[in-house]
Amino acid sequence: MNSYRWDELSEGLSHEFEVQLTQPMLTDFLRLSGDQNPLHTDSEFARHAGFRDVVAYGMLTSALYSALVGVYLPGRYCLLHGINVDFVNPSFVGDHLRVTGSITYLNQAYRRADVKASIHNGDSQLISRAKIRVGVHEH
């Protein structure tokens, strides 16, 4: 876990990490969220809807943005203030996802940082993009 302090942050500072989507991740998200939409749970339904298999929950993949700021950028001293996510393409079990983020703006008065982030699959296809607003506290 990174522990960037406010004075260590700068515009352009970036980080990335990778995750593979697994069936247990979808199962856990279903259990936690209660989202039983068959697009996420029924392969036949998803194929009839034009997808190759069940579609991973968008909110599951967007939870990776929480890991980006809470673990890596800035990490330990982060408090997530808000996030705007645009879902561009679906993702599926087995996909290797690359989560990237870069600080685009720092507000000294409020100790707030804006992070531009995205998730791409192993084929470099954009899955989602986000603008994340975080506060940075001292302790």
Question: Of 96, 98, 85, 74, whose CA–CA distance to 6 is shortest?
Answer: 74
Q: Give me 114's structure tokens.
A: 């804006």
What CA–CA distance (Å, rounded) separates 137 from 24? 34
Q: Is this prediction's pTM over 0.85?
A: yes
Question: In the prediction, which pLDDT does 76 show?
Answer: 95
In a domain, 6, yes or no: no
CA-atom Rg of the chain in angstroms: 16
* The pLDDT of residue 139 is above 80: no
Provide the domain limits for residue 92: 12-136
In a domain, 2, yes or no: no
In a domain, 20, yes or no: yes
User: For the domain that residue 84 is a member of, what is the CATH number?
Assistant: 3.10.129.10
The confidence band for 138, taking pLDDT boundaries of 50, 70 and 90, is confident
The stretch 130-135 carries a mean pLDDT of: 98
Encode pLDDT of 18-64 as tens digits.
999 999 999 999 999 999 999 999 999 999 999 999 999 999 999 99
Q: How many domains does the chain have?
A: 1
Encode pLDDT of 55-111 as tens digits.
999 999 999 999 999 999 999 999 999 999 999 999 999 999 999 999 999 999 999
